[in-house]
Chain A
Amino acid sequence: MRIPAEVAERRVGHAHFWERAAAAGVTRGQFLRRGAATAGGLAGLSLLRGVPAFATSSDPNPIAPNPNLGGLRLWPPGRGNEPITITDFNGSSGVTEIAGTGTGGGQTWNFDVDMRFMKGVYRGMDGRIHQGAFAFV
């Protein structure tokens, strides 16, 4: 995702990812269709959708829908919020939202990223306990 510096607001205090998504009037259906583009590193778009691609796979199940985000199966980064996107999980996890700048094509660009990881044991769609690591990018 690239946001030209000249059209983005100041980096400090600018709208964060989920605020921009809401401001863009993005519907849940639109998010689900294009979620893979934005959440490219998520362990399967089906986690956001909540629809098992393969009911017998070892893939993890998504968390329950978040009513505050139109039923999406994630919570924004923040104290007190569920930090991960899979359920039946026991392990290490991390969540962060970072803003900064970078360069490309001779210009300066702003970025705002939501990054998460999950590493531990989980119950898969097949009902069995597995060990694995996943990322939300």
Chain B
Amino acid sequence: MSLVDAHDIGNALGGGPTDPATASFDVRWLGGGDRESVHDSDVGFVFKSVEGDAHIDWTATNLATGFSFTSSPSEQTTAFAAVGKEQNGIFFH
């Protein structure tokens, strides 16, 4: 996909200069963890999910500088991952 390289988070969110870039992502939710069912009437959603680790392989290239990044498939840490079925808004009951 086409996007921009903003270099760092402060620049990205603060409106600094960016370079044209491309990136590709392959994300896999591995499951195998706890099964959770959340029914939140305050926010208004139902999410029935299975948690577990996830894995990502991604690459990005800054088209202005030629810098290219490739993620390592090893030693990734999943802070959180869940995949499942959700209903919200008019579909929330």
Contact = CB atoms under 8 A, between A and B. Distances in A.
Interface of A: 1-3, 11-12, 16-17, 20-21, 24, 26, 30-31, 33-38, 40-41, 61, 63-64, 75, 77-80, 82-84, 87-105, 109, 111-113, 115, 117-118, 120, 123, 137
Nearest to A12: B77
B88 A89 contact: yes
Contact of B12 (A37, A84, A87): A37
Contact of A41 (B3, B9, B86): B3
A42 to B, nearest CB: 10
Interface of B: 1, 3-10, 12-16, 18, 23, 25, 27, 29, 36, 38, 40, 43-45, 47, 49, 51, 54-56, 58, 67-72, 75-91
22 contacts: A1-B9, A3-B9, A21-B9, A21-B13, A26-B9, A26-B13, A26-B14, A30-B15, A37-B4, A78-B80, A80-B38, A88-B88, A89-B91, A90-B86, A92-B86, A93-B85, A94-B29, A94-B81, A97-B79, A99-B79, A105-B68, A113-B58
